[in-house]
Amino acid sequence: MAKAPLQFTCTSCGARFPKWSGRCDACGAWNSIVEEAPLSASGPKGKSLGGAKGRLIALTTLATEEPPPPRTCSGLVEFDRVLGGGLVPASAILVGGDPGIGKSTLLLQAVSAFARAGLKCLYISGEEASAQVRMRAQRLGLADASVNLGGETNLRDILTTMEAERPDLVVIDSIQTMWADSVEAAPGSVSQVRAAAHELVTFAKSRGVSVILVGHVTKEGQIAGPRVVEHMVDTVLYFEGERGHQFRLLRAVKNRFGPASEIGVFEMTGMGLAEVANPSALFLSERGQPAPGSAVFAGIEGTRPVLTEIQALVAPSTLASPRRTVVGLDSGRISTILAVLESRCGIPFAGLDVFLNVAGGMKVTEPAADLAAAAALLSAREDVALPSDLVIFGEISLSAALRPVSQAENRLKEAEKLGFTQAIAPQGTKVTGSDGMRLRTLPDLVTLVGDMFGAG
């Protein structure tokens, strides 16, 4: 029998290669490629009907009389929203995040809420002993929820228990601790994580059980990250936050049952995670007197408007190539904005260090933040504070023209609700009936510079 060829897999992104190398070509991670045991020793043998033909598949049409399966809402509003409006029966969900960010806390709270909503829930912890989970539940005031706890890492035993108990929802904390006896590799390796996730998801789907898999984001080494199972599940959520901040964002990056890029906002307190119903108020709560370098951006996260403060600092540099430190925004876009300011508006940033960050540990990925970032940079450079009741949004093109962005109405409405009275937006922004808001629309960045800071 021919020996199966060796296979090498990146533990960070799951890309496969025929030979080992120090750096993954797919995601750029260093030292992340490991040898993997091939799943089948023989591999596929030609394509034909085979000696014994297979069964015919029963095909159906798209039309159906059946109503869609009912979703279950946990009552944890932020969590339900990110799922796309509650839990879909027999769905597979991955919750990824850095170790210690609060995934176990979030899922313990969610599973207790689902249990109170009438689902039969199973919480399998491969990381903590049941006593530890129970202690945390007690501290969070969840001890009365009827959740079945189990401390187990053997996949075969977990599947057997699922078959016997027939729960509606199973949480696996975490997928990296599970091991399936069908694969000879250490728990946490790419082939183990992939095999365990595949078995769990297919078994759960065939029995009508929803599963939530917890996956630690790993920076390097031999442990597989959650990205290797992303393609197997229906919904991928990432739990993010800065260590020093108490805000936590649950972000949907893939969702077969709802909008992607939806966010849920939580705050880590001494009593577990508290939901934040009005994130804008929270992100703007630390704003003091109007100061140079601060601009408020009216953004959209998923389906919801969120206001954030963009802060800039510009200082003379002693370095040959000055610093460009960007936190919470795309540094590539900021470089572009600096280049546009320099070559189209005649505002040089050479010889100046530039620091830019989004207050509150929020990450902003929308191009609509361009104009607010440019205003913050200008305000910092010219040492002029922007009015404290002003919000800004708009995309900047390479010609310095401003492009209108989506959902302008929602952005303005949210700003008005929080007491803002002026807005700057690109020309062509369509709005109807906002009386409390003075909207100025500008054709390009040069007009903004001339308007606010005196030309050039």
Stretch of 103-111, 136-144, 274-282, 335-343 lying at the interface with Mg ion (CB under 5 A): 103-111
108 SS3 class: helix
Whole-number minimum distance, CB 205 to ligand TYD, in Å? 25
Stretch of 26-34, 61-69, 96-104, 319-327 lying at the interface with Mg ion (CB under 5 A): 96-104
Whole-number minimum distance, CB 97 to ligand TYD, in Å? 6
Residue type for position 372: A
With CB under 5 A, what is the number of residues at the site for Mg ion? 1
Other beta carbons less than 10 A from residue 230's beta carbon: 17
Residues 6+ apart with CB under 8 A from 111: 121, 123, 145, 147, 169, 171, 212
* Site membership for ligand TYD, residue 241 (CB under 6 A): no
Q: Which of 104, 125, 189, 191 binds ligand TYD (CB under 6 A)?
A: 104
Other beta carbons less than 10 A from residue 408's beta carbon: 24
Whole-number minimum distance, CB 216 to Mg ion, in Å? 8
Task: Tell me which residue has its CB nearest to Mg ion.
Answer: 104
Q: Which of 117, 232, 260, 268 binds ligand TYD (CB under 6 A)?
A: 268
What does 141 bind: ligand TYD, Mg ion, none (CB cut-off 5 to 8 Å by kind)?
none
Compare residues 98 and 395 and give the one whose CB is closer to ligand TYD: 98
Return d(Cα 448, Cα 425) in angstroms, integer.
Answer: 10
With CB under 6 A, what is the number of residues at the site for ligand TYD? 13
Q: Which of 82, 92, 93, 101 binds ligand TYD (CB under 6 A)?
A: 101
* Site membership for ligand TYD, residue 100 (CB under 6 A): yes
Instruction: Report helix angle 370-382 to 331-343, nearest 10.
Output: 60
What does 271 bind: Mg ion, ligand TYD, none (CB cut-off 5 to 8 Å by kind)?
ligand TYD
CA-CA-CA-CA torsion for 203, 207, 211, 213, nearest 10 degrees? -10
Return d(Cα 229, Cα 193) in angstroms, integer.
Answer: 8
Whole-number minimum distance, CB 254 to Mg ion, in Å? 22
What does 105 bind: ligand TYD, Mg ion, none (CB cut-off 5 to 8 Å by kind)?
ligand TYD
Question: What is the distance of C-alpha 98 from the center of its chain?
Answer: 12
450 SS3 class: helix
8 Å CB contact between 209 and 162: yes
Compare residues 104 and 311 and give the one whose CB is closer to Mg ion: 104
**CA–CA distances in Å: residue 453 to residues 28, 233, 374, 448:** 42, 51, 12, 8
- The token pair at 343 is 């070559």
Whole-number minimum distance, CB 102 to Mg ion, in Å? 8
Would you list the DSSP string of 186-239? Answer: -TTSHHHHHHHHHHHHHHHHHHT-EEEEEEE---SSSSPPGGGGGGGSSEEEEE
What does 101 bind: Mg ion, ligand TYD, none (CB cut-off 5 to 8 Å by kind)?
ligand TYD
Q: Which of 72, 104, 294, 308 binds Mg ion (CB under 5 A)?
A: 104
What does 28 bind: ligand TYD, Mg ion, none (CB cut-off 5 to 8 Å by kind)?
none
Stretch of 55-63, 100-108, 227-235, 280-288 lying at the interface with Mg ion (CB under 5 A): 100-108
**CA–CA distances in Å: residue 435 to residues 21, 420, 432, 442:** 62, 12, 9, 19
Stretch of 101-109, 257-265, 291-299, 312-320 lying at the interface with ligand TYD (CB under 6 A): 101-109
Whole-number minimum distance, CB 171 to ligand TYD, in Å? 11
Would you list the DSSP string of 137-186? Answer: HHHTT-TTS-EEEEE--BHHHHHHHHHHH--SEEEEE-GGG-B-TTS-S-
What does 100 bind: ligand TYD, Mg ion, none (CB cut-off 5 to 8 Å by kind)?
ligand TYD
Q: What residues make contact with ligand TYD under the rule CB under 6 A?
A: 97, 99-105, 136, 268, 270-272
Q: What residues make contact with Mg ion under the rule CB under 5 A?
A: 104
